[in-house]
Structure 1
Amino acid sequence: MLVGMARTRTRDEILAVAAELFYRAGFKGTSLQDIAAEVGCSKATLLYHFDSKEAILAALLAPAARELAELDEQLAGLQGEAARAAAIDGFVDLVLRYRREAGLIYHGSLDVLLTPAFDGVQPMIENLCSAFAARSTDPGEQIAAEVLLAGICSVAIDRPDDVTLRSALIAVAKRALLTPRSKD
């Protein structure tokens, strides 16, 4: 029983340390040896729990990816303004719940989303952008949606949680996406 608890504690510690190092130095700038040294274990111990740095990142991002999949399912049947409203609310809530994970992606781990462990994530992000754009095919609307997704991540990940953050992010998103754009 104690061995199982120690393994779980070590695994959890590896994840916590890796998240911090990935956030500070980036995914590419952090080595398995860096993580092991910070945890205070050998690289072999680390590799006992995770077979690669990508596996550590996958474990860190898995809960957020599952919720993104749930949001994706919600958005699948929605069109127009209903899709936009649900996407804004759902994405803001997701980012606020998973700030650390959003920060990992926002601060340089985006290339990891292209690895096999995250095969399904890119289409979900594209669907989310489409929903933010109210399913418009207008390039301006699509670009506005992409910029807004990145902006929400950027603002939310480093802000303290307070009662106004969620409502402010939602209000800004709606204002940004509902403002008529001139056709130049």
Structure 2
Amino acid sequence: MARAVPETHDEILTAATRRFAATGYRGTSLQDIAREVGCSKAAVLYHFANKEAILTELMAPAIAVLQSLDERIALATDPADAQRVAAEGFVNLAVRFRREIAVLRGDFPELLAQPAFAHIQRISERLVDALAGHPERPSARIAALVLLAGISEACGEFLDLGEEVLRPALLALVTRGLEPVDRPAPPHSSTPVPPIHTED
């Protein structure tokens, strides 16, 4: 017999995560989530206004870390530094939140089109620019996009692999795959060089 109200708010999030991972966000209904919890659909709606609200809360921690990464990239001193910050930051994010990433595999482009996730699309574009290092160069952007997609796919696939194995493997892959950015040469000293005097 279905319970009237789930015991906790988190119980619904846990059930939603399982259903999203099994059948995708689009393929999961509120009734599916309620059935997973063992309650009525009305009980789920008591805690969440709709399915998008469940996803928004589920992804909130990962989104907060992504926004922080975006801020750190903006503070980078040059393109090479921005590329390093973006690469290390995204790998760390992907490894930490790989279960959430696994939930969104296949649905991500459609989700980014939703108003609630519009800012994520803009952050993603800036992330690609930073990883490319040469945003105007097609080959650099292709490498950045392929690596972003590959990292997300790998993290969703290797859910049970230890972080101490997955993180360095991904960082090594990124290092090999991205087009390197040369750091700007240090500015020349403006101090005039004294002339060399020779004996007559």
Do the aligned partners of 1:23 and 1:107 also contact (CA within 8 Å) in 2?
no
Find the counterpart in structure 2 of residue 166 from structure 1: 167
Do the aligned partners of 2:30 and 2:41 also contact (CA within 8 Å) in 1?
yes
**Of 21, 36, 51, the match for 1:38:** 36
The letter for the 1-side match of 2:157 is D
Do the aligned partners of 1:15 and 1:60 also contact (CA within 8 Å) in 2?
yes
In structure 1, what is the Cα distance between the partners aligned to 2:31 and 2:143?
40
Per the TM alignment, residue 148 of structure 1 is displaced from its structure 2 partner at its CA by 0.5
In structure 1, what is the Cα distance between the partners aligned to 2:93 and 2:134?
20
Per the TM alignment, residue 157 of structure 1 is displaced from its structure 2 partner at its CA by 2.1
- Give 1:2-151 correspondences, 5 Å limit: 9-78=7-76, 79-151=78-150
Where does structure 1 lack aligned partners over 5 or more consecutive residues? 1-5
SS of the equivalent of 1:89 reads helix
The letter for the 2-side match of 1:32 is L
SS of the equivalent of 2:133 reads coil
Do the aligned partners of 2:25 and 2:104 also contact (CA within 8 Å) in 1?
no
Do the aligned partners of 2:133 and 2:179 also contact (CA within 8 Å) in 1?
no
Deviations 1:86-131 (A, max 9, x none): 1110000001111111112223243122212112111101111111
> Larger Cα Rg: Structure 1 or Structure 2?
2
Is 98-107 or 120-129 further displaced after alignment? 98-107
The letter for the 2-side match of 1:52 is N
TM-score (norm: length of structure 1): 0.88
Alpha-carbon distance change, 11 to 122 in structure 1, aligned in 2, over 3 angstroms: same
Where does structure 2 lack aligned partners over 5 or more consecutive residues? 182-200
Per the TM alignment, residue 135 of structure 1 is displaced from its structure 2 partner at its CA by 4.3
* Higher-helix-fraction structure: 1
Deviation >4 Å, runs of 4+: none
Find the counterpart in structure 2 of residue 3 from structure 1: none
Per the TM alignment, residue 158 of structure 1 is displaced from its structure 2 partner at its CA by 2.4
Alpha-carbon distance change, 170 to 151 in structure 1, aligned in 2, over 3 angstroms: same
TM-score (norm: length of structure 2): 0.81
Do the aligned partners of 1:26 and 1:109 also contact (CA within 8 Å) in 2?
no
Identical positions, percent = 44
